[in-house]
Every structure is written in C-alpha cells, then in structure tokens.
Structure 1
Amino acid sequence: MLRTLFLSLFLSLFLLASSLAHATPLTWGLHGMVLFGGKQGLYASHLPMFHAPHDYQVVLQVRLADPALDARLRQQLDGKTALWTLEPERFELARLLPAAPLPLRQFRATVVRGHFEKDGKAEPGYGAAAIIVERVLLMRRLSPAPASSASARYLQVGDGTQRFLVKRIDSRPDFEHIVAWSSPAQAPHGDIVVAKSGIRQTPIAALRAQLGKTARLRGTLYFSTEDVR
C-alpha cells in the first residue's frame, strides 16, 4: 500500500510539473506597437496596460529583415506624423528583456497605416514582415498601484537630427505621448522633463521651451489615455 501511495504521489507531482512547464507565460499575447521613425532610424513602442500580459512599457529600435522593404518603410515614415502601428504575431513580451534566458530578437508583424485595433489598414506589400530587434531602448514593468507625478518625463529616441520624445509611464492614470522633433546634430540625449497637468496632453510649447530655440517640433504622432487608466 505504501508503494502504491508513493507511486500515486510521484505521478501527481510529475503531472503538476509538466502542467507548469507548459503553462502560458504571463506576458504571452498580441503586443500591438506604435511604429515611427524615418531614414535615420526605425522604432516601435509597445502599447502598455497596467495588467498582464501588457504591463511593460517597451521602446525598441528595429529594422525590417528585407532591406528593400526596410528602405521603403523608412521613406514612407520620414518627416511625417501620421500614425502607423504594428500588429505582431503572439509572443512572450518578457523575452525582450536583455537578461531573458531566450531573448527575442525577431518577430513577424503586419504593418498597419493607422491604429491596428481601430480604423487602420494593412499596408500593401509588407505581408507578415520579419522585424529585427536591434536595441531595447526602454523596458520597464508598470506597477498597477495608483500613483501621481507632478512632472512628465520624456525619453529621447534617435541619435541624429531626427528625434522623438516618448513619455515615460510613471503614474496611474497616465497618458501615452510620442512627439517628433528635429534636433541640432550635437543636442544632448537626456530626458526632457516638463510640468504635468493630470492626464492632459503636454503642450508643444512646453516641450519646445525645454528643448531650446533651435529645436523644431514636428508634431504629435500618438496620444492616448485609453489603456493606461
């Protein structure tokens, strides 16, 4: 009887371990992204939420695996502020962490002109484009706890004269904001910090005041409060 009990316990533990090993990872899902950039660089910003599997703010520097398609896309985006998004295949978002055991360096996605969950349309010619992750510029897990910050802090994205400001999500509720601007070649790359008024969009004038007189703000690429309430 003891032998039977031991075998039963062993089998239960084996089945439990097997079940855990094949459980869906907490960050597995369809991780939509805002796509932006131009000839000097191509970037993707994950659309975060305060719950799994989307509870990470992620900004990537990317390129398309096909050089011809990559050049074409950069040309289409260059100097414009129209909204483009990516609808990727499902993957585990945590694998983008630099220290992940099996880091994700490529995924496939549909390139969409507009918002992929709203009125966006798949851009002809790209199909399920292979997206190469060149650099992880920002990856931070979001806390679901209510929080408030008196200032809005923007990450600068881009190494040349064509740059972007991506607001860091640091409050709940908060807002997503991506702004395009043209920079002097030697402008600093540090964060831009401005006063914040709840979840109202940061005025362009406030950003311009922090960037300096030589900066040319090209406009907002994306603003939303829907997903980070």
Structure 2
Amino acid sequence: MKTFAALMLLAGSAAAADVTYGEHGMALFGGKEGLYASHLPMFHAPHDYQVVLQVHVADPATDAALRQRLDGKTALWTIAPEKFELSRLAPQAATPLRQFKADLVLGHFEQGGKTQYAASTIVVDKVLFFHKLSPEQRASVSSTYMQIGDGQQRYLVKQIDSRPDYDHIIAYRAARGAAHTDITVIKRGLSQPNAAELAAALHAQRNTIRGTIYFYTDDLK
C-alpha cells in the first residue's frame, strides 16, 4: 500500500506534467452586479490562454466588501492564486476547477500591489471565455471587444488575436436594455482606442465610458 506521502508526490508529479500548471495571475474587476477575473496571458506555456471568468468569494463578508470597493471604479485589482492547471477551466475539462485559493491585491501583484484579502477562496461560477493563443506573428486591422456583464455595469475585454497585441479591460455604463454584443474598432498598432471610438461602436454617449481598468502590452510581444 502506498503511503500518503507517496500519493501526494504522485499527485504533484501529475500536476507538473500538465503544461498549463502554474501561478495564473488575473485582473479582478466588477462590483455589486458581478465579479469577474481575466487571466493575464502570454504567448508561451503555461500562460498561453485568454480566459475570462465570472466568480465570487466564498466568504460572504469578504465578497460583499470587495464588491463595494470595486463598484463603479477603475482602480486595478489583481488575483495572485495558488498554482493550478489552467486547462481545468476549459469547457470540456475532465476535472473542472471549481474554486482556488488566492490573495486579492489592490494594484498589480507583481508590481508593488498591496494584498487586501489574503488566502481567499475564489469560486468559479462560469467560464465566459477560454481560448488558446497562437504564438505566430500576425497583424490585425481591427480589435474585437467582448461585453462582460448583463446589467448596466458592464465591461469590454479585448480579444487577443494578433502578435504583438495588448490586454485591455474597460468599464462602461450601459443604457437599460442595451444590446449585449461584441464590438469592433479600428486597431492602431498597440495604442488603445479612445473613449469616442468605443462609444461610437456601442452606439452610446461618450461619457458612458468610465475608463480603463487594465492595459498592458509587455507580455504580448
């Protein structure tokens, strides 16, 4: 009979064999209407996937406090999680990842951010987007943004579809009953589109664009 230590070693070896195993930092955004996490991708394993999740914090008090602090704001928060296999978030994963432990950080967890809620349990409610990135160099003349959120408090997340590219998350306030569709804007290199361009694509007023939550290019060159 195998000892407990031996079983744990075997389990660790199996996890390490999955090329997506690692510490998968995420941008955290949302508010009272919903919480979301967007994996911070790169063009190499184990981070070569763009993944967007709808989540909540298992502890109700922490969840409520976090939503209150994020609500209507564009300050960057990030998730510094324990290591896990990103492949377990795939729609057809054999053993789906239901939850994981993570520090919730005000700012970027690798760039001077400050932990606000340590060792929180993050529950994965829904995988909204899961896509493997291609490492090939290629250009795109347009950028497509996914709409995240069903109420008035919504977000635009750029689909990473070229190399080099940029990771971009925007907060905006939708009109009641506004369509929940992807939008496309002209791409100008690695420059983010301005509020007027985004509002025009949404058929909305410019002042509905609240601002950028996250914009980064260095990891996508």
Q: After TM superposition, is the score higher than 0.5?
A: yes
Structure 2 residue 119 is matched with structure 1 residue 128: yes
TM-aligned CA deviation for residue 107 of structure 1? 0.4
In 1, the alpha carbon distance for the partners of 2:125 and 2:14 equals 30
Kindly state the Cα deviation for residue 50 of structure 1 after the two structures are TM-superposed: 0.5
Counterpart contact for 1:57–1:169, Cα < 8 Å: yes
CA–CA distance in structure 1, aligned partners of residues 15 and 153 of structure 2: 44
Identify the match of residue 222 of structure 1 among 207, 214, 219: 214
Query: For 1:191, which of 177, 182, 192 is the aligned residue?
Result: 182
2:23 paired with 1:30: yes
Partner of 1:49: 42
Residue pair 2:15, 2:85 contacting (<8 A) in 1 also: no
4+ residue stretches of structure 1 with deviation over 3 A? Answer: 20-23
Q: CA deviation at 1:46?
A: 0.2
Aligned residues: 210
Q: Residue 88 of structure 2 aligns with which residue?
A: 95
Deviation by residue 1:175-226 (Cα, 9 ceiling, x = unmatched)? 1110000001211111010000111111121101111234601000010101
SS in 2 for 1:202: coil
Identity of aligned residues (%): 59
- Match in the other structure for 1:119: 112
2:202 is aligned with 1:208: no
The Cα shift of 1:56 comes to 0.2
1:162 to 125, 138, 153: 153
What is the rounded CA distance, in whole Å, between the counterparts of 2:89 and 2:15 in structure 1? 20
Answer yes or no: is the 8 Å Cα contact 1:183–1:214 preserved in 2.
no
Q: CA deviation at 1:24?
A: 2.4
TM-score (norm 2): 0.92
More displaced, 25-34 or 200-209? 200-209
**Structure number with larger C-alpha Rg:** 1
Aligned position for 1:73: 66
- In the alignment, the residues of structure 1 paired with residue 197 and residue 152 of structure 2 have an alpha-carbon distance, to the nearest angstrom, of 20
Select which of 147, 162, 167 maps to 1:176: 167
- Aligned partner of 1:227: which letter? D
**Gapped runs of 5+ residues in structure 1?**
1-19
Deviation of residue 23 (structure 1)?
4.8
Given the alignment of the two structures, is residue 146 of structure 1 paired with residue 109 of structure 2, yes or no? no
Instruction: Write out per-residue CA displacement over residues 125-169 of structure 1, whole angstroms, 9 at most, x where no aligned residue.
Output: x22000000010100000000111100100000010000000000
Provide the alpha-carbon RMSD of the alignment.
1.6
| Aligned-partner residue type, residue 219 of structure 2 | D
Task: Report the counterpart of residue 102 of structure 2 in structure 1.
Answer: 109
Q: Distance in 2 between matches of 1:91 and 1:23?
A: 9
Write the letter of the residue equivalent to 1:207.
Answer: L
Unaligned runs of 5+ residues in structure 2 are: 1-12
CA distance in 1, matches of 2:156, 2:217: 17
User: How many angstroms apart in 1 are the aligned matches of 2:152 and 2:86?
Assistant: 30
Q: 1: distance between equivalents of 2:195 and 2:110?
A: 27
Query: Are 1:113 and 1:121, in contact at CA under 8 Å, matched by a contact in 2?
Result: yes
